[in-house]
Chain A
Amino acid sequence: MQLIYQIPRNSLAWLLAAYLAVIAPHVMRLPIWIVLAALWCLLWRIQVYRGVWNFPRRWVKYVLAGMCLIGLFAGYGRLAGLEPMVALLVIGFSMKLLEMYQRRDAVLVIYLAYVIAATQLLFAQTISSALYMVFSVVLMTTALMSLNQSQGLLYPTRSLALTGRLLLQSIPLMLLLFIVMPRLGALWSVPLQQHAAKTGVSDSMSPGDFSQLTKSAELAFRVRFTGAIPPPSERYWRGLVFSRFDGRSWLQAEPFDYYPDGKAVRWFGEQRLAWEALIDRRSKAVAYEVILEPTQQTWLYALMAPEPNSAKIGMTRDFRIVNRIPISNRLAYRVSSHLDYRAEYQPLPNWRYRNETQLPAGYNPRSVRLAKRWRAESGTVETYIQRVLNWFNREFTYTVQPPLLGKDTADEFLFESQRGFCEHFASSFTIMMRAAGIPARIVVGYQGGEINPLQNYLLVHQFDAHAWTEVWLEGKGWRRIDPTAAVAPERIQNGFSSMLDRTEFLSDSPLSLVRYQNIRWLNMLRLQLDRFDYAWYSWVLGFDNEIQADIFKHLFGSTKPIRIALALIILGGLVLAAIAISLLMPSRSESNSPSSKAYRRFCRRLSQKGLVRKPYEPPSVFAERVAKARPDLASAVVEITQLFQAINYAGTEQDEKRLVKMVKLFKPRRRV
């Protein structure tokens, strides 16, 4: 049985509280057996403290560690990846709890807690997770503090108050570092979150996909325009382009579909590729910044015709914007779009024409026949398109609860149900075009968005998800045609507010404030909350080198490292000086009793004669020194000092008067 260092009760309590606090946010992400194991370790540690159980033996720990490793491999398949790494950390953390023999073990547990608390921020970066972080930091730091306090002074509230003071004093310096310290950018690629649900539009489209999205009131992204916000009819946020159709689903073109043009993506900062000459940008650009919620997908959203303005994003051959890695955290990127454009307006080469008019054989025979007949009857492509749109407008109904469709989706939709959602219109319209030999493709993304009048930015929600069509016209290139607009123009003009009365709408978000936007104050509350979140993002989460450079230019006139270093040193020095002054300034504790006053006067008289009492010198030591230096004064000095000290312990009023009198009579002469 080894000698056990018993961590003070209060320290252990704070430590275990911190332990629970940092593990709690991970509970939903961790396999249940790890959570149970962690709680078991906690219970074990408490029992060890109470003296009921012993620390586990060494072989028990080895067996437990081995079992946990096997469990991790079995559960995740590998250890690379964010979740397995967090799981590993939590296991190590919990096992260390059972190995806390010494003070330094406890310190190590607290340090591990800081790291685990930090990993929580890799999964969620909302205001609430930041506040929770602050809460955990207070607990962990209090635990650390209580390990360094004297047992006798160890009261929970006292430790907490002292920690609070320390943390508050640390905040100014932290803000300074946050603003000034350069961000280097990722040094190496790190494992990302694996099991997060992908949100938003997916990389294929089959009937019914989009009506699922309309049930969600979650935010897709926010957009801040440098200039005026374009009208709703221009706000088509392109995310994906589907050029392949397999009879049921629409899929993206594979990169090799574009092989004659070489690389299909041009990344920011790279040289322009040949195919970029296909776009004719005719109007001035609209510049904006999109703040995208995590989607776990790589594609981004932008208006046509886009030009990426941020590092690490690129433009594809079908004029979309993409990111290199899946978006697991909010991402801000800048784009400028030329709303008046001609894309691929030059005559299409054969391989392009084949790709964009491809239809699987044997599907939708009725639609194909109708398309061919109408195309033959129409003189121009434009009149044909208009005839199809007119038909949609006359005969079709827009609904968020479309009936299910069988094998020939377009046939069933066009000739039987005639009730559908944007994806049905887009899909069948594109099939009608392709069947008539007109290159056409489906674009999915979001349409419209809600303007937050409080700060003039655009909110785009999941229910704004939309699918439309691009048709290639000779001399004009790809033109956007939205068949849904022909059926339900109010959907395009007014966005979701026109659909609030439909029961299916937002059925996945029963508590969302978006549902209650008819109630004015609730709506204002919702917009206000979103504004906070938006500010949180733009000032905290989105703070990057560009904003940093702006601030430096604004404050110091340049971004030279030497100036920044100077700013850091001077401002940091000022902050620390302020704290030092508040800490170290001697707060005068001299009492104002007559005896103290008399004694001070006595000291003044002596100092005039060159005998200065040092501030830390106890009166008796001082008296001894004076007596040695001036034997002629010895008796008086000793008497006064003894009386003064006696008064300090238990003095009467008469003693005080006597002292005052004695000091009055004490007139040392200059030594001859």
Chain B
Amino acid sequence: MALTPRDTEASTGVVSGRLNQWIDQRLPPQRSILLNRTNVYIFPSKAGFSFLFMIFLLWLIATNYENNLVFGLAFLLVSLFVVSILHTYSNLAGISITAVRSKPVFAGENVAFELLLKRHNRRAYENLWLSWRQMPPQIVNLNDIEQKKIKLYLPSNQRGWLNPGRLLVQTYYPLGLLRAWTRLDLDLRALVYPKPITAGPIPMAQGASGEGAITVCRGTEDFYGLKEYQTGESLRHVAWKQYARGQGLYTKEYTASVDRRIWLDWDYLAGMNAEARLSRLCDWVLASARTESEYGLRLPGQEIAPSRGVEHRDKLLKALALFDLNSIKQHSGR
């Protein structure tokens, strides 16, 4: 179904704004929520109100023409409306929604929040709309499977924690006459790293080089040992002596000892504002992570010792994402 902005409009407006506030107070944050009568709300949609108006017209026709068959039709449609209240409600009730996780992104990218929808009975759930704020909804069906993982995206534009706000779960099924909805706080947040901005080569740390430990990496200077040959390796370093002895094909390994301890320092980027500095530091972190070097980070008020690996990189990125200059200034001011 193509969704126009109009379709999602129902969640705005003065009355529903008040209602939403009230709902938000009633429903505390939870990682996993089962939808039931305590948290599902239902109200006629615009189409529902016009349906009721159409029934009123039929009733007028029936009354003025004293026509029992038109009465019958009008009453059938009233009953249809009433019965579809139950159907619309039951299209939400009995589903649990669990926050699974969200992966960190760089500012400007879309955050994917992973949710798990699970039904706790054998009813077919159809045409559920899930959305964050005013984002176009994602449509989910749980008709022949018990559970489904979905990703709901939200654009990020600022580093730091991104709180997606309440998850709006709504449905108009089966006849579009009623809207059942709930607004859940799944206690989800996503980490948004600063947007990396290319900052050129990393200045070598002057004061830090003295403490430099020796990084061992593959080089060509000193013989270090033998390693089993793998196809594709250069034949220049094959240990032919060992091969000639029939011991198999080995490669000679050499080392080059270089001081590769990199410090990514806030102070290198003097003259820029905080966000610009963080973005460039972020780029350096990513660039350093692609090398074999150990790298550390110095920010006002904190220092992270050089290391390597994905976890280390993420630690640095998190520090950049959550860096709060104001609190530092307050501390130093005291």
Contacts and interface: CB of A to CB of B under 8 A. Distances in A.
Interface of A: 5-6, 8, 102-104, 107-108, 111, 114-115, 117-119, 121-122, 125, 129-130, 133, 137, 141, 144-145, 147-153, 162, 166-167, 169-174, 177-178, 181, 183-190, 329, 540-544, 576, 579-580, 583-584, 586-587, 589, 614-618, 621
Given A122-B70, A125-B69, A187 B79 contact: no
Nearest to A121: B69
A181 B74 CA distance: 11
Given A114-B58, A153-B143, A576-B86, A121 B73 contact: yes
A149 B127 contact: yes
Contacts of A544: 66
22 contacts: A114-B54, A114-B77, A118-B61, A122-B67, A125-B67, A145-B174, A150-B127, A152-B141, A153-B143, A166-B87, A174-B78, A177-B78, A177-B79, A186-B66, A190-B65, A544-B66, A584-B94, A614-B32, A616-B34, A616-B96, A617-B32, A618-B116
Contacts of A184: 63
B60 interface: yes
Contacts of A108: 50
A627 to B, nearest CB: 15
A117 B69 CA distance: 11
A544 B172 CA distance: 37
B31 interface: yes
A576 B82 contact: yes
Contacts of B323: none
Chain B: interface residue count, which band?
35 or more
A181 B75 contact: yes
A147 B3 CA distance: 12
Of A130, A141, A174, A589, most B-chain CB atoms within 10 Å? A174
A190 B68 contact: no
B174 to A, nearest CB: 5
A582 to B, nearest CB: 9
A183 B71 contact: yes
A579 B83 contact: yes
Given A145-B175, A149-B173, 6 more contacts: A5-B2, A177-B79, A544-B66, A576-B86, A584-B86, A587-B121
Interface string B41-52: 000001100110
B10 interface: no
Contacts of A583: 86-87, 90, 123
Nearest to A622: B32
A173 B82 contact: yes
A173 B61 contact: no
A145 B77 CA distance: 13
Given A148-B173, A185-B66, A583-B87, A618 B98 contact: yes
B83 A169 contact: yes
B72 interface: yes
A579 B86 contact: yes
A186 B64 contact: yes
Contacts of B75: 173-174, 177-178, 181
A186 B73 contact: no
6 smallest CB-CB distances across A and B, nearest first, come from A616-B96, A170-B79, A173-B79, A616-B34, A177-B75, A148-B176
B98 A540 contact: no
B90 A183 contact: no
Interface of B: 1-2, 4, 6-7, 31-34, 46-47, 50-51, 54, 57-58, 60-80, 82-84, 86-87, 90, 93-94, 96, 98, 116, 118, 120-123, 126-127, 139, 141, 143, 146, 172-176
A167 B80 contact: yes
Contact of B175 (A5, A141, A580): A141
A133 B78 CA distance: 16
Of A104, A167, A543, most B-chain CB atoms within 10 Å? A104
B175 A144 contact: yes
B313 to A, nearest CB: 26
B79 A616 contact: no
A462 to B, nearest CB: 25
A30 B159 CA distance: 68
B130 to A, nearest CB: 13
B32 A621 contact: yes
B52 to A, nearest CB: 11
B175 A114 contact: no
Nearest to A8: B1
B47 A104 contact: yes
Given A114-B54, A541-B68, A150 B126 contact: yes
A153 B141 CA distance: 9
Contacts of B82: 170, 173, 576
Contacts of A580: 86, 90
A102 B6 contact: yes
Given A111-B51, A171-B79, A151 B58 contact: no
B20 to A, nearest CB: 23
A589 B142 CA distance: 15
Given A147-B176, A149-B173, A166-B175, A115 B54 contact: yes
Contacts of B57: 115
B50 A111 contact: yes
B213 to A, nearest CB: 37
B120 A616 contact: yes
Contacts of B80: 141, 166-167, 170
B127 A103 contact: no
A620 to B, nearest CB: 9
Given A121-B69, A148-B127, A166-B80, A103 B63 contact: no
